[in-house]
C-alpha cells in the first residue's frame, strides 16, 4: 500500500502535463522500479471530458484503499478552495484601549489553518520529515521533528498585538465555532478541531543520561506551563531497544515511563492534547506575555466563555496568514497525515463559495 500512496499523487499532476501515449511509459518507469517489485498496482486513468480510458492496470481488482482515500480528500480541497488559498487567522479586541491598556478581551478566531506556522521554514516554505511526529506512538521509534518553531504563528500574532496593547485586563478566548470538533479516523491525534497548534500534540524529546541506570532527560516541545508532565525514564543498556510509554492521567496531564539505550539519538514520543481550545489559548497567553503584553487571565481555564455573536463587528488588531493550501496538501500526502486529511472535508464544508469564513466578527 505504501507504493500506491507514494506514486498516485504524482500521477495526478502528470496527466495534465503529458500526452496519453507518453503516460504509460512514465507510469511504468515508476511501477517497474526494483523497490516496488513486491507491490501490486491498481490504476485507472480516464479523460474526464471524453470518458476515454487513457491508461489502466488491474482496474477491476479490489484493493484495501487505506491512505489512498487521502487523494480524494486532498483533490476535493484543491478543487473547491484552490491551491493558492490561504487561511487567515485573526485576533479581535472587545473593549476599549486607553494608554495601551485593553479594558476587555482578546479573541482569536480559529480558521482551520492546518499547519498554523508550526512547519514554517526559516527561508520560507513548509517543513516536514518522512517519519512525521504524529506517528510517534508508543511503538514507533523513528519519528523525527522539523527544525521549525511550533509557536511561530502565535508569536507573530502576539507581536502584532503588542504594537498597540501592553496589558489585557479581560479574558483571552479562542473562537473555535468554525465546525464542531469530532474524531479523526486514523492514527495520531484523535480530536479534529478548527484550531491546531503543533498538530495538537506535545512532543517529548527523550535523551539518555551519561551511563546505564542514570535518569534520562525528557523535554517538552513546545515548553508550556499549561501541561503537567510526570516523567521517570531511565538510561538502559547501550544497543538495546527503547521502550517508552506515555499515558494520560488527567486533562492536560500525563506520565511518561520507560527506558532509552545509552548513547542513542533522542527518542520522540507525543502526548495528544485533549482540549485543543484550551491548549491554543494557554499557548497564546504565554506568547503574549513573552512578547511584552501583561495578561490578567488564568493560563488554565477562562473564567467565562462568552463569545460575541457571529454578526458582531469588533476591531481586528492582528492576523496570521498561512502558506498556500498546496503546501499543507503536500505534507498531507507526503507523510500520510491523518489529522490533516480528516480536517479537510470539514474545512471545505465550512468555507463558502467565495472561500470566506462564515460571517463572524467581520470588523
Whether residues 212 and 318 share a domain: the answer is yes
Count CB-CB contacts under 10 A for residue 359: 10
Instruction: Report residue 24 as a C-alpha cell.
Output: 504509460
Whether pLDDT at 126 is above 60: yes
Q: Which of 73, 65, 94, 68 is CA-nearest to residue 11?
A: 68
Q: Of all residues in the chain, what percent carry a pLDDT higher than 70?
A: 90
Alpha-carbon gap, residue 5 to 23, rounded angstroms: 19
Q: 81 lies in a domain? A: no
Alpha-carbon gap, residue 81 to 312, rounded angstroms: 26
Domain that holds residue 250: 86-323
Whether residues 101 and 32 share a domain: the answer is no
Q: 74 lies in a domain? A: no
**What Å distances lie between residue 71 and 135, 206, 342, CA to CA?**
20, 35, 12
Q: 360 lies in a domain? A: no
Question: Looking at residues 290-305, what average pLDDT do you find?
Answer: 96
Q: 340 lies in a domain? A: no
Q: 6 lies in a domain? A: yes
String of DSSP letters for 63-109: ---GGGGHHHHHHHHHHHH-TT---EEEEEEEEEEETTEEEEEEEEE
Alpha-carbon gap, residue 227 to 292, rounded angstroms: 22
Q: 167-202: per-residue pLDDT in tens?
A: 999 999 999 999 999 988 777 788 999 999 999 999
Q: 344 lies in a domain? A: no
Q: 57 lies in a domain? A: yes
Q: Is 39 strand, coil or helix? A: coil
pLDDT of the residue at 359? 53
Whether residues 146 and 239 share a domain: the answer is yes
Instruction: Report residue 18 as a C-alpha cell.
Output: 503529458
Cβ-based neighbours of 92, under 8 Å, separated by 6 or more: 106, 107, 109, 308, 314, 315, 316, 317, 361, 363
Whether residues 33 and 109 share a domain: the answer is no
| Beta carbons of 157 and 91 less than 8 angstroms apart | yes
Whether residues 51 and 93 share a domain: the answer is no
Whether residues 201 and 249 share a domain: the answer is yes
Whether residues 14 and 119 share a domain: the answer is no
Q: 195 lies in a domain? A: yes
Whether residues 138 and 172 share a domain: the answer is yes
Cis peptide bond upstream of 222, omega within 30: yes
The average confidence (pLDDT) of the chain is 90
Whether residues 138 and 287 share a domain: the answer is yes
Instruction: Report residue 12 as a C-alpha cell.
Output: 495526478
For residue 192, the domain's CATH number is 3.50.80.20
**What Å distances lie between residue 224 and 107, 287, 300, CA to CA?**
20, 10, 11
Question: Looking at residues 22-36, what average pLDDT do you find?
Answer: 92
Unique residue bearing C-alpha cell 506556522: 117
Whether residues 291 and 209 share a domain: the answer is yes
- The number of domains in the chain is 2
**Entry pTM:** 0.86
Q: 152-168: per-residue pLDDT in tens?
A: 999 999 999 999 999 99
Whether residues 151 and 288 share a domain: the answer is yes
Whether residues 94 and 134 share a domain: the answer is yes
Amino acid at each position: 500500500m505504501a507504493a500506491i500512496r507514494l506514486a498516485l499523487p504524482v500521477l495526478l499532476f502528470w496527466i495534465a502535463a503529458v500526452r496519453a501515449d507518453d503516460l504509460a511509459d512514465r507510469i511504468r518507469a515508476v511501477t517497474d522500479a526494483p523497490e516496488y517489485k513486491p507491490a501490486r498496482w491498481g490504476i485507472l486513468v480516464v479523460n474526464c471530458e471524453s470518458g476515454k480510458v487513457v491508461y489502466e492496470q488491474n482496474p477491476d481488482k479490489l484493493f484495501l484503499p487505506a491512505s489512498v482515500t487521502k487523494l480524494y480528500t486532498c483533490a476535493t480541497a484543491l478543487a473547491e478552495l484552490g491551491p493558492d488559498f490561504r487561511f487567515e487567522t485573526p485576533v479581535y479586541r472587545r473593549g476599549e484601549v486607553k494608554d495601551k491598556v485593553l479594558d476587555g478581551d482578546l479573541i482569536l478566531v480559529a480558521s482551520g489553518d492546518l499547519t498554523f506556522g508550526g512547519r514554517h521554514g526559516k527561508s520560507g516554505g513548509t517543513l516536514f520529515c518522512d517519519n512525521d511526529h504524529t506517528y510517534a506512538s508508543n511503538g514507533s521509534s523513528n519519528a523525527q521533528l522539523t527544525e521549525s518553531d511550533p509557536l511561530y504563528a502565535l508569536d507573530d500574532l502576539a507581536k502584532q498585538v503588542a504594537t498597540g496593547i501592553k496589558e489585557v485586563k479581560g479574558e483571552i478566548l479562542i473562537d473555535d465555532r468554525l465546525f464542531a470538533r469530532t474524531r479523526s479516523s486514523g492514527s495520531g491525534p484523535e480530536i479534529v478541531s478548527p484550531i491546531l497548534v503543533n498538530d495538537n500534540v506535545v512532543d517529548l524529546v527523550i535523551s539518555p543520561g551519561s551511563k546505564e541506570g542514570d535518569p534520562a532527560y525528557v523535554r517538552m516541545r513546545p515548553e508550556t506551563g499549561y501541561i503537567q508532565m510526570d516523567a521517570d525514564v531511565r538510561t538502559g543498556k547501550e544497543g538495546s531497544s527503547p521502550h517508552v510509554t506515555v499515558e494520560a492521567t488527567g486533562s492536560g496531564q500525563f506520565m511518561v515511563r520507560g527506558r532509552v539505550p545509552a548513547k542513542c539519538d533522542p527518542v520522540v514520543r507525543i502526548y495528544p492534547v485533549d482540549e485543543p481550545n484550551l491548549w491554543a489559548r494557554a499557548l497564546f497567553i504565554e506568547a503574549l506575555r513573552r512578547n511584552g503584553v501583561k495578561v490578567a487571565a488564568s493560563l488554565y481555564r477562562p473564567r467565562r466563555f462568552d463569545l460575541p455573536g457571529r454578526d458582531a463587528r469588533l476591531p481586528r488588531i492582528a492576523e496570521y496568514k498561512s502558506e498556500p493550501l498546496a503546501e499543507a496538501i503536500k505534507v498531507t500526502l507526503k507523510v500520510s497525515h491523518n489529522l490533516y486529511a480528516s480536517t479537510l472535508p470539514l474545512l471545505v464544508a465550512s468555507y463558502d463559495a467565495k472561500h470566506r469564513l462564515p460571517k463572524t466578527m467581520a470588523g
